[in-house]
Structure 1
Amino acid sequence: MVRAKGEVDFRHFEPTLAARTLQVASAPETLGHLLFVESGKVSREHVAGNDAWQAPCLAFLPGSGPMKLVVEAGSNASLIGLARADIDESKSANGELLCSLLSAEPRGIPVERRHMARLAPLLAGLAREREEENGEARTATEAYVTLILIETCRLVLPDQGRTAEEPGSTNLLFRFRQLVERHFRSQRSIATYAGELGITTDRLHDICRRTTGRAPLQLVHERLTREAALNLERSTRSIQEIADTLGFRDATYFSHFFKRQTGLPPAAYRRRARVAGDEQRGTFTATYADWP
C-alpha cells in the first residue's frame, strides 16, 4: 500500500460486544504506529510472540512486517501510523526521540487517567475529521496529529527521566540516523560513524543513550534486524543471499545474529511468518487500504 500525500493512517476502535481481529499493513514509508488504549485491552500477535496492553496505555509499535491486532470486547482504542514526514511536519523538538521509539521494539507505557483524559478529545477530534473529505478536514487532521504528538512527548519524557538536551545533540542524532540508513548494510564500525560526524565515540554513545535510551550499536543492529525481517517475510531470497545483501560474512554468522536479536533463527522466523500469513488469509484480512 502507498499513502497519498496529506493522508493520515488512523483507525479508531469504539467499544463493541465482541472482540475484533485485524491485520495491519504498513506503507513503505511508515516508521511505526502509536496505539492508544483508553479502555479495555489490545493484543498484538506476531511471528516472534505476543504482546498485550491494558488501558490506560500508550504503545509504540514498529512499522515493518505484518501485524495482527486483537481488540477485546468493550475496548476503546486508537491506532496512528506515522511516517518521518508526519513527525517532521509537527516540528516537535523531540522528533528524533519519537522516531527512535517508533523504529525500535514494541513497548508500552502506562498512562495516568488524567493524561488520557487530555488525549481522548484529541483522538476523538481526529476520528471526526477523518470522516470528512475536504481541504479543511485535511488541515484539521494534521493539526490534531501535531497536538497528539505533543501530548505523546509529554508522556514519554517523564517516563524516560529526560531533561532538556544540550544544543546540537538532536541534530547529531538525526545525522547519525541518516548515516545508518545509508550504510547499515556495510557493517561500519561506530568509530567510523563518529568520525564522519566529527565527534568522539564516547560523545555519540552519550547522545544516543540520553535521547533514545540505547547505544549506537543497538540502533544499528535494530535497523539491520528490521531489514532482515522484511527480507524474510516479503522476499524469496535464500538465507545466504540475505546475509550477503546485509554485509554478513556468511549465513551462519547472520543466523546467530538474527536469533540473538529476535529469539528465532531466520528459517524459523520465515516459516512462522508464512504460517501466520496463510492463517490470516484464510480467516480475516484487512489492511489500512480496506478501512474507511
Structure 2
Amino acid sequence: MTKYQRYSNNTVALTTVPKVRLYVERPEEEEKWFVNIGHVTERGRWRTAPHAHPEYGQVIFVRSGRGVMNLEGSSVLFEGPCVLLLPTECVHGLDYEIDVDRWVVTIEVSYLTQVNAKLHEFIQLWALPRMISLSTSSGAAVALFSVITKLADELESKKVGHVVGTEALLTSLFLMLARGTSLDQLDNDGATRNEVRLADRFRELIDQHYRQNLPLQDYASMMAVSLVQLRAACAATTGQSPTKMIHARIITEAKRNLIFGEMSVEQIAFGLGFSDAAYFTRFFRKEVGQAPSQFRVTARDQPQRMK
C-alpha cells in the first residue's frame, strides 16, 4: 500500500513509489485473467503519477497523439505511432497530450515469463522499458494495430481454442516488437537455453533478496548450481558478472527512492541493507559518479513535462 506523510502546511509527500494492480472484472466461474486489452481515447490531457506494476507488464500502443513519459525519473518524449513497453516493477508516469488514441495490452507476470521463454530475444526485449517509434516504417503501425485488434477480438470471443489463439497472437506481437527494436545485442548467440534460464532465474532471486546482502554462494545454492555455472550464465547472456547485476539492482532502487521518495540518504541506505550510510554513499558514487544527495538534486531539477 502506498504511504503518505502529511506536513504541518497540509501538503502531502509521497514516501514510497505506488505499486498498482489492475482490476479486471471477470465472472466468478472464469479462470484468472492473464491478458487484458483496453482502448483509451479520452478528450483532453490525461496524466498518471509515477507508479510501478509488480504483477504485470504492459505494451501501450500509441496510435496517434503525443506525450511525455517519466521513466525512472527521466523524461522520455513520445509521439504516435509508437509503442511504450513497460516491464514489471519499472517506475513510470505518463502525461498524454490532448486526443491521444492508445491501446493498452496488459500481461500477467507469470504468463509474460512463459511467453518470453519462447525466444531469448523476448527476454532481451523485456529486460528494459522502451519507447519504440513506428514512424519510420509506413506498414509497421498498421501491422501492429492489426495484431492488437485481433488479440482483442480473440479475448472477447471466447471461442474454442481462444487460449491457444491468444498465445499465438501475443507471440506475434512480441516478435514484431523484437524485430523492430534495436536490442542491446551481446555476442550471446552461443549462450545455451540453460544459461538463459539460469540468468533469468538469477534476476528473479536478485529482485527478492537484493536488500539482504547475500553472498553469491547463497544465490548459487538456491539455484542448485555452482558459482562457476552462475558466472558463466551471467557472462554469456548479459555480459556482466553476478556481482555487477546485484549492484545494478541496488542502484536502481536507490535512484527510485532518491527521485520519488522523501526519505533521507541515511534512511535509504538502511532500507537497502547498508549498516553504514557513509559506505552507501561511497558505493553509490562509485557506481553512478555522483553522491546520492547530488543525484537527487540533479534528477529533480529535470523538466518532467512537455512544453
Q: Does TM, normalized by the shorter one, top 0.5? A: yes
The whole-number CA distance in structure 1 between the counterparts of 2:95 and 2:261 is 26
* Paired position in structure 2 for 1:282: none
Q: Spell out the pairing of 1:199-278 with structure 2 (5 A cutoff).
A: 200=228, 203-209=232-238, 216-228=242-254, 239-255=265-281, 257-258=283-284, 261=288, 265=292, 269=296
Higher helix share: 1
- Identify if the C-alpha distance between structure 1 residues 158 and 116 changes in structure 2 by more than 3 Å, giving closer, same or farther: farther
* Paired position in structure 1 for 2:59: 34
User: How far has the Cα of 1:173 moved from its partner?
Assistant: 1.3
The whole-number CA distance in structure 2 between the counterparts of 1:54 and 1:247 is 40
**Bigger shift: residues 52-61 or 251-260:** 251-260
The whole-number CA distance in structure 2 between the counterparts of 1:187 and 1:74 is 47
* Paired position in structure 1 for 2:211: 185
User: How far has the Cα of 1:51 moved from its partner?
Assistant: 0.7
Q: Spell out the pairing of 1:140-219 with structure 2 (5 A cutoff).
A: 144-156=169-181, 160=185, 163=189, 165-188=191-214, 197-198=225-226, 200=228, 203-209=232-238, 216-219=242-245
- Identify if the C-alpha distance between structure 1 residues 93 and 127 changes in structure 2 by more than 3 Å, giving closer, same or farther: closer
- Identify if the C-alpha distance between structure 1 residues 86 and 197 changes in structure 2 by more than 3 Å, giving closer, same or farther: same
The whole-number CA distance in structure 2 between the counterparts of 1:117 and 1:208 is 33
SS of equivalent residue, structure 2 residue 110: helix
Stretches of structure 1 lacking an aligned partner (at least 5 in a row): 277-292
Task: Please list the CA deviations of residues 68-99 of structure 1 after superposition, one character each: whole Å capped at 9, or x if unmatched.
Answer: 3123345443333444312134364236x545
The whole-number CA distance in structure 1 between the counterparts of 2:211 and 2:195 is 25
Seq. identity, %: 23
**Bigger shift: residues 108-117 or 253-262:** 253-262
- Identify if the C-alpha distance between structure 1 residues 257 and 42 changes in structure 2 by more than 3 Å, giving closer, same or farther: farther
- Identify if the C-alpha distance between structure 1 residues 92 and 163 changes in structure 2 by more than 3 Å, giving closer, same or farther: same
**Bigger shift: residues 188-197 or 249-258:** 188-197
Match among 109, 127, 133 for residue 132 of structure 2: 109
Contact preservation (8 Å) 2:147, 2:173? yes
TM-score by length of 1: 0.65
Contact preservation (8 Å) 1:58, 1:109? yes
- Amino acid paired to 1:175: R
SS of equivalent residue, structure 2 residue 48: strand
Stretches of structure 2 lacking an aligned partner (at least 5 in a row): 1-19, 25-31
* Paired position in structure 2 for 1:288: none
- Identify if the C-alpha distance between structure 1 residues 93 and 244 changes in structure 2 by more than 3 Å, giving closer, same or farther: same
* Paired position in structure 1 for 2:118: 93
SS of equivalent residue, structure 1 residue 113: coil
User: How far has the Cα of 1:56 moved from its partner?
Assistant: 4.0
The whole-number CA distance in structure 2 between the counterparts of 1:218 and 1:83 is 28
Match among 97, 104, 116 for residue 79 of structure 1: 104
How many residues are paired up? 267
- Identify if the C-alpha distance between structure 1 residues 11 and 214 changes in structure 2 by more than 3 Å, giving closer, same or farther: farther
- Amino acid paired to 1:2: R
TM-score by length of 2: 0.62
The reply on whether 1:12 has 2:67 as its aligned counterpart is no
* Paired position in structure 1 for 2:148: 123
Contact preservation (8 Å) 1:204, 1:216? no
The reply on whether 1:69 has 2:97 as its aligned counterpart is no
- Amino acid paired to 1:107: R
Larger Rg computed on CA atoms: 2
| Bigger RCO (CA 8 Å, 6+ sep) | 1
- Amino acid paired to 1:208: T
